[in-house]
Amino acid sequence: MCLTKKQQKFVDAIERNTQGLTAVSTGICPGCAQCRDEYGVKVRCECQDRPSNHFEPDPDCEDCEGKGKREPTMEEFEEQCSTQESLCEGEFSWQGCDLCDSGLGGTFEPWHAVDANNEIIHGERACVDCMLWLANGDLPGGDD
């Protein structure tokens, strides 16, 4: 494949910024605790199911802090991801892309990879061009 200078710079930046990482992908990750904290949908706390509480939130409950809803467990978050109850629709930022080093503002999604220790790495911003490259191998325009 013959790449333009701009395309080669794009590919080189992604390779440099993901060196040593495998399984690089975009979007929320069901195994990522940071994604669970940011995108997980709170679930009904078990403290409300106790007849002794008259089915009201327990004001002393440590799980929900008396609010009746708590953060999902990792298993619950995985289910929320599989049923698309938890979604990331992208967020606008002027900070640019972590992967291709583009400094342009735009809509970004989180990205993930696996490091040499088999740990999930959470990245904050992947641009639309990087999403398309990682998903389909589509390169941005070829203007030099």
Examine the domain organization and report whether 97 and 141 are in the same domain.
yes
13 inside domain: yes
pLDDT digits (tens, 9 = 90+) for 61-77: 888 888 889 999 999 99
Q: Could you tell me which of 72, 79, 7 has the C-alpha nearest to residue 42?
A: 72
Examine the domain organization and report whether 92 and 144 are in the same domain.
yes
pLDDT digits (tens, 9 = 90+) for 107-124: 999 999 999 999 999 999
Decide: pTM greater than 0.85: no
State the pLDDT confidence band at 55, using cuts at 50, 70 and 90.
low
CA distance 66 to 60: 6
Tokens representing residue 17 in the block = 């910024």
Per the structure, the complete domain to which residue 48 belongs is given by 40-86
Examine the domain organization and report whether 101 and 61 are in the same domain.
no
Number of domains observed in the structure of the chain: 2
